[in-house]
A and B are shown apart, each in its own frame.
Chain A
Amino acid sequence: MNPTRALLLAILAALLAPTAALALGTWWPFSRAPKINAPAPDLAATIEMGRHYFAMSCAHCHADDATGDEGPNLHKLKISDAHIRLIVKNGIKGEMPTFAKKYDDTQITAITAFLRTLE
C-alpha cells in the first residue's frame, strides 16, 4: 500500500477507535448502573442514612470514624462515586464482603454520600 495512504488510514483508525469506544460506553447500557443518581429529596437525610448503614456494616472493619482499622482509611477517597458504589456492592475478593444482598442501590448511594463527607 502507498505509505501516505497507510499513514492516513492509521491516523483515522487511531481517532476512530477511542471515539467508537466512548460512543459504545455512552450508548450501550451494559455499563449503566440502575438510576441511583436521582436527586435525593434531602441530601442531609441521605448522608445521615449512609452514616447509619456505615455504623452498622462498615465501622467494625474501617473504624467508627472511618480512619481505618482492619480495613483502610476511607477519608478523602480519590475514586469516583461509581467506583465506590461498585466496591460496596460487589466487595473485594478475599478482602471485603459484598453488600449487594444487604443494601439496595439507594442505600449504597447513601453510604457513598456519607463517605464523601469524610474530609
Chain B
Amino acid sequence: MMMIPADWWPRLHGASTHLPVALVPVAALFEALSLIVRGAELRHRLAATSTLMVPLAALGSLISVVSGLGQSHGEWLGQGLLRSHHLFVWPAFALLIGLATWRWLVGPDPSPRALQVYRVALWINAGLILVAGYWGGELALSH
C-alpha cells in the first residue's frame, strides 16, 4: 500500500488548492466580462479562456481535496475552523466537478439558456471557493 510522508500533504494541499481558488473566480469574472464587453472577438476570447480554466481548476481541486484529506488525517468535517472550511469546500468541489463535466460534454456551443444557468452556477461556485479559501487561510494562519 502506498504510504506518503505526513508532511507532504500540507505542501501538496498548499500547492494544488490555489489552482481552483485562483482559476474559478477568474473564470467567473471572464464570463461576466464576456457579457458586457464590446467586440465579438474579445467576448469570444474571454468565454473561451473561462471555459479552459474550469476543467483545469477541477483537476486541481481533485488533488487539493485528496491532499486535504491526507493533511487532516481523513477528517472530512472536523471542528472549528476546519469545519468552517469543509462546509464550503464540499459543495464547491461537487459543483466545480459538475460544471467542468457539463462544459466538457456539451462542447463549445451550448444553448443560450443553458449557458445562462452555467454562468450563474459558476458565479455561485466562485463565491463558495472564495469563502472556503478564506477559512482555509484562517486555518493556516491560526497556528
Contacts and interface: CB of A to CB of B under 8 A. Distances in A.
A78 interface: yes
A87 B143 contact: yes
A74 B37 CA distance: 51
A45 interface: no
Interface string B98-123: 11011001110011001000000000
B82 interface: yes
Nearest to B84: A78
Interface in A1-32: 1, 3, 5-7, 9-11, 13-15, 17-18, 21-22, 24-26, 28-32
A19 to B, nearest CB: 9
Interface in A58-98: 72, 77-80, 82-83, 86-87, 89-90, 92, 95-96
Interface string B6-36: 1101100000000000000000000000000
Interface residues of B, number: 42
A26 B110 contact: no
27 contacts: A1-B106, A6-B105, A6-B106, A7-B114, A9-B101, A9-B102, A10-B105, A11-B98, A14-B94, A14-B98, A14-B101, A17-B93, A18-B65, A18-B90, A21-B66, A21-B69, A25-B66, A25-B69, A25-B76, A28-B1, A31-B9, A31-B71, A72-B142, A77-B80, A83-B78, A86-B6, A86-B73
Interface of B: 1-4, 6-7, 9-10, 62, 65-66, 69-76, 78-82, 90, 93-95, 97-99, 101-102, 105-107, 110-111, 114, 139, 142-143
Interface of A: 1, 3, 5-7, 9-11, 13-15, 17-18, 21-22, 24-26, 28-33, 72, 77-80, 82-83, 86-87, 89-90, 92, 95-96
